[in-house]
Structure 1
Amino acid sequence: MKIKSQTDFWSGLMFLLVGLGFAWGATEYSFGNSARPGPGYFPFGLGILLAVLGAVVLFKALTIESEDGGRIGAIAWRPLGVIVGAIVLFGWALPHLGMVIALPLLVVIAAMAGDEFKWLEALLTAAFLTVGSWVIFVWGLNLVIPLWPTFLGR
């Protein structure tokens, strides 16, 4: 069997493995039912969808010829480091600085990893995601997520 697109092959394999890993990890939680889903319901479904997407991309990589063989270039270490660093910073900042500061910080720092960074776009995206996250998670789902920094009191 010949790999006809290396980029599709490796990305499809990654999606497949990560999706199966999440689906398997979600089996440790209660599923509930469709009317009252438990904590394992959503991650299991997303994991299966990601694995199916990976299988489709993997199948495409093995059956459809790409122009240059879909060669994989060098790993972009700087953007990878910036994005991973932004996520680690968000994990620390959320309980300490609250969602109102931590989420825009994550978005702006992660946006700086790209070659076409624009302050206005990053700030508008950060504002939209912060308001949207508040509406969905805090207001809609009643999750207990700190909104403001702990030093401002609760």
Structure 2
Amino acid sequence: MPSFIRHPKDFWTGVIFLIVGLAAVIIGRDYTMGTAGRMGPAYFPTVLGGLLSLIGLAAVVRSFFREADEPIGKFAIKETILILSGVILFAFLIRGAGMVVAVIAIVLMSAFASAKFKWKSGILLAAGLAVFAILVFIKLLGLPIAIFGPWFGG
């Protein structure tokens, strides 16, 4: 790591934010922008990508001036795989099993990635978030998602 980068965590976090933000802006260029009052399909990813890029740029600049308090740790491969598997499992389950099963699966898989995971608190969190997701996405927003999908006769 070059000596002018004084805080490697901020530097690499900023680089990741910049890449993701700029990718959203570039991908959004193919769609119509619209206005703040009448947003087109490019509006949200462009604005969000621009803001994420600004945050990334700020983190990169800050990495040159702020001293690191601790070194970069090891890359958490097992945890990353568990969380990504949870997201893929959610995508697979949402249509067939419904909102409840999909939310419980993603929460438990993600919680299991933590070294502090306990089954009781994980199940309580999953149940609470499943109820919250039903209330917000199905009841309040009216999204056409089954609470229990066709695999369970829903």
Q: Which shows bigger deviation, 47-56 or 76-85?
A: 47-56
1:91 and 2:91 are equivalent in the alignment:
yes
- The alpha-carbon distance between structure 1 residues 151 and 27, as it changes in their structure 2 partners (threshold 3 A), is same
For residues 29-68 of structure 1, the C-alpha deviation after alignment (integer angstroms, 9 at most, x for no partner) is 444443443444333332222222211111111121224x
Q: 2:94–2:102: 8 Å Cα contact kept in structure 1?
A: yes
For residues 8-33 of structure 1, the C-alpha deviation after alignment (integer angstroms, 9 at most, x for no partner) is 11111101111221233234444444
Gaps of 5+ in 1: none
- The alpha-carbon distance between structure 1 residues 49 and 140, as it changes in their structure 2 partners (threshold 3 A), is farther
Q: TM-score, normalised by structure 2?
A: 0.83
Q: 2:8–2:68: 8 Å Cα contact kept in structure 1?
A: no
Q: 2:6–2:63: 8 Å Cα contact kept in structure 1?
A: yes
Gaps of 5+ in 2: none
Look up the match of 2:65. 63
The amino acid of 1:99's aligned partner reads M
Q: How does 1:73-92 map to 2 (within 5 A)?
A: 73-92=73-92
Q: 2:10–2:63: 8 Å Cα contact kept in structure 1?
A: yes
Q: Which shows bigger deviation, 25-34 or 9-18?
A: 25-34
2:5 and 2:95 map into 1 onto residues whose CA distance is: 45
Shift of residue 134, structure 1, vs aligned partner: 2.5
Number of residue pairs aligned between Structure 1 and Structure 2:
152
- The alpha-carbon distance between structure 1 residues 134 and 44, as it changes in their structure 2 partners (threshold 3 A), is farther
Look up the match of 2:109. 109
The amino acid of 1:24's aligned partner reads I
For residues 91-113 of structure 1, the C-alpha deviation after alignment (integer angstroms, 9 at most, x for no partner) is 11111111110011100111000
Q: TM-score, normalised by structure 1?
A: 0.83
Identity of aligned residues (%): 33
Q: 2:97–2:152: 8 Å Cα contact kept in structure 1?
A: no
1:85 and 1:5 map into 2 onto residues whose CA distance is: 31
1:36 and 1:139 map into 2 onto residues whose CA distance is: 25
